[in-house]
Amino acid sequence: MTNISEAFIAETLMQLVVILASAKIMGLVFEKVGHPKVLGELVTGLIIGPSVLGFVDVHNEIILFIAELGVIVLLFEVGVETKVRELMNSGRSSILVALLGIFVPLLFGMLYILAFTGYGIIVAFFIGATLTATSVGLTISVLSEIKKTKSKEGKIILGAAVIDDVIGLLLLSVLADIVSTGQIIPLNIVKTFLMSAAFLGLLVLAGKVFEKRILSFVNKIRVERTFIVTAFVFALLMSYISLSIGLATIIGAFAAGLILERKEHMKLIHHRVHVLTQLFSPVFFVMAGAVVDVRSLLNIEILPLVIVLTMIAFSGKMISGLGAYRDKVSKTAVGLGMLPRGEVGLIFANFGLISNIVTQEVYSSLIAVIMITTFIAPPLLKRAMK
């Protein structure tokens, strides 16, 4: 390999060693004291990231890609464990939870900004939109640690988070329209929505139709032992398609898992995919912690805005849990599952900053809100699910 310098390989190897080793140690410590491992990984990121120790280079594209692979295999594994039928069963609750989780924080956020600050409608819409985000990866990681991904609550959250991501995409495309043209273009919104819905629906349907053939083909050419390669390629391909049409990679990875969920496949890939999840998903959560600038929290002037927005972010998602009123589940757990904004919130916030929609002050406040929801959700969710 001659097109990459040895120094860069060495540096990246060291970064991986530091990230994985410290995540492992902190994960064990957090588990020991009853907190979710994933929270330990986030805290690890905070500590070894640029805002404290500076051990991690958040601009190393290789590490960032491995982090992305980590969340892809995590959602792929969850997809493999999830039955489409069961997901459909909790579909109505999921839709209601997702819609409440979008519109309550959006509305409350906008109302507060318009009524009590000097900012205009665009800033208000942006702040509200950022408060709607849900980081499904984080919640799934907590549920998976305590072996509750197959619980009724898990199913509702999973479905709602997927819908959330699609709607989040719509909100982002609305924002992009506002930034580039100064107005809202309904046609673009309809287009984005139809494409996303068509992607998920068609993909899972087509997958279900073809999977028997795929399976018999696999049996024919006797590649059971190496079926993991095929499955992995499939997950990456779906992630790629998902990203190409503007959705998050993890939606495609989850869909890929759903398609391969049959018993015969699970036997072949489940334990093997889990190896990948164990190795790479910590990189994702450490990096999610590392990109947060702790110093933004120390600005006393933004404190009032942070407190109010956190209350809206928290109550909005807790109210969304009530959307599962039909089911015998812990509404608190569902709400808490939707709470962490995580990397999705960061994408929103960064878009706002880069597009000059918001000031550095508002940006810092949003980062603080995202951090708080992301860090309080895992321990609360773990407790609520017990």
Binding site for its own copies (CB under 8 A): 1-4, 6, 8-10, 12-14, 16-17, 20-21, 24, 28, 58-59, 61-62, 64-65, 67-68, 221, 223, 226, 228-230, 232-233, 236-237, 239-240, 243-244, 249, 272, 275-276, 278-279, 282, 284, 287-288, 291, 343, 346-347, 350
Least gap, CB of 30 to its own copies (angstroms): 13
Least gap, CB of 225 to its own copies (angstroms): 8
Of 217 and 325, nearer to its own copies (C-beta) is: 217
Of 198 and 275, nearer to its own copies (C-beta) is: 275
Least gap, CB of 95 to its own copies (angstroms): 27
Of 190 and 275, nearer to its own copies (C-beta) is: 275
Least gap, CB of 327 to its own copies (angstroms): 32
> What residues contact residue 111 under an 8 Å CB cut-off, 6+ apart?
none
48 near 56, Cβ under 8 Å? Answer: yes
Encoded tokens for 82: 């999830």
Of 108 and 285, nearer to its own copies (C-beta) is: 285
Least gap, CB of 207 to its own copies (angstroms): 16
Of 65 and 116, nearer to its own copies (C-beta) is: 65
Long-range (24+ apart) CB contacts under 8 A made by 40-44 are 41/282, 41/285, 41/286, 41/289, 42/138, 42/285, 42/286, 42/288, 42/289, 42/374, 42/375, 42/378, 43/289, 43/375, 44/19, 44/286, 44/289
Give DSSP secondary structure letters for 73-91: HHHHHHHHH--HHHHHHTH
Q: At what angle do helices 342-354 and 263-290 cross, to 10 degrees?
A: 50
CA–CA distance, 185 with 173 (Å, rounded to integer): 9
Of 236 and 368, nearer to its own copies (C-beta) is: 236
Task: Name the residue type at position 234.
Answer: F
Least gap, CB of 230 to its own copies (angstroms): 7
266 near 215, Cβ under 8 Å? Answer: no
Give DSSP secondary structure letters for 208-249: HHHHHHHHHHHHHTT-GGGHHHHHHHHHHHHHHHHHHTTS-H
Of 172 and 381, nearer to its own copies (C-beta) is: 172
128 near 110, Cβ under 8 Å? Answer: yes
Biggest CA-to-CA distance, the chain: 68
DSSP, collapsed to helix, strand or coil, labels residue 200 as helix
Of 162 and 172, nearer to its own copies (C-beta) is: 172
Least gap, CB of 239 to its own copies (angstroms): 6
Least gap, CB of 357 to its own copies (angstroms): 16
